[in-house]
Amino acid sequence: MPTVVISGSSCRDFTHGESEFEVAATTFRQLIRELEQRFPGLGEHVEEYMAIAIDGVIYQDAYHAPLKPNSEIVLIPKIGAG
């Protein structure tokens, strides 16, 4: 199962400090629903404010983005810019 890594404090508030865990998901969309179930509020938070990096590649908004069984998924704040 893909591993989710949380580095920032904003998500850890939802996971009560847990910073690395596995989720049964094969797409970004499934991941969000999984997270919401495991840690109420986190899925929504990710949906609104977070991007995910799948094996190093940042996805800002992409439900369809595929997750491989051995993927490392990192939750990071969305990035804007000037």
CB-based contacts of 39, cutoff 8 Å, min separation 6: 14, 15, 16
The yes or no reply on residue 76 touching another protein (CB under 8 A) is yes
Residues 30-69 that bind another protein (CB under 8 A): 48-49, 53, 55-62, 65
CB atoms within 10 A of CB 48: 8
Q: How many residues bind another protein (CB under 8 A)?
A: 29
The yes or no reply on residue 15 touching another protein (CB under 8 A) is no
Least separation in angstroms between CB 33 and another protein: 19
C-alpha to C-alpha distances, 20 to 64, 78, 81, nearest whole angstrom = 23, 19, 28
Would you tell me which residues interact with another protein (CB under 8 A)?
Answer: 5-10, 13, 48-49, 53, 55-62, 65, 72, 74-82
